[in-house]
Amino acid sequence: MNPILIKNYVATAAVNPYRFVKPGANDYEVIQAAAATDLIIGATMELGVSADDITKGKNRLDVMHIGIAEIELGGNVTRGQKLTSDASGKGVAAAPGAGTNNSIGGTALVSGVAGDTIPVLLTIGSLQG
C-alpha cells in the first residue's frame, strides 16, 4: 500500500477490509459498494467495521482516496484493467454494456483471480459502454 490521502468516516453498516466504498446516506458516512453503478469514493485498508462494532459505537473507518490500495478481487482481473465493485465491494473488471456506466475505483497493477488481494492504483471515475 502507498497511501497519499486517507480520511476517517462513519461506517453505517458492516464494511470489510480491502473493499471499495461509496457515500452513505449522510455527509461523512460510508458503506461498502455493492454494484458496478455505485459511486465509488475510495477503498478500505487492513481494518474493517463489523456489525458488532457498529452496535458498540465503534464505527469509525479509514478510507484511502488517493494512492495504491490493496483490493480483494471478486473475479479474474488482468493488469491494466479498470476495476469496479461487485455486490460485496470486491474489485471486478469493469465491463459496462452499451449505453450504461460503471463507476471505476481503480486500475489493477497486477493480474489476479477471485479471492486474491492485489495492488490497485485508485483512479476514481466512470466508464461508459
Tell me the domain boundaries of the chain: 2-128
Contact by Cβ (8 Å): 60, 6: no
Three-class SS state of 72: strand
Give the model confidence (pLDDT) of 104-129 as tens digits. 999 999 999 999 999 999 999 999 98
Give the model confidence (pLDDT) of 45-94 as tens digits. 999 999 999 989 899 999 999 999 999 999 999 999 999 999 999 999 99
Three-class SS state of 103: strand
- Which residue has cell 449522510? 26
pTM: 0.95
* C-alpha cell at position 101: 456506466
Element containing residue 55 per DSSP (H, E): helix 51-55
Give the model confidence (pLDDT) of 5-26 as tens digits. 999 999 999 999 999 999 999 9
For 67, 74, 100, 112, 125, the CA distances from 128, given in Å and listed in that order, are: 24, 21, 6, 24, 10
Query: Of 35, 17, 23, which Cα lies nearest the Cα of 88?
Result: 35
CATH of domain 2-128: 2.40.300
Three-class SS state of 105: strand
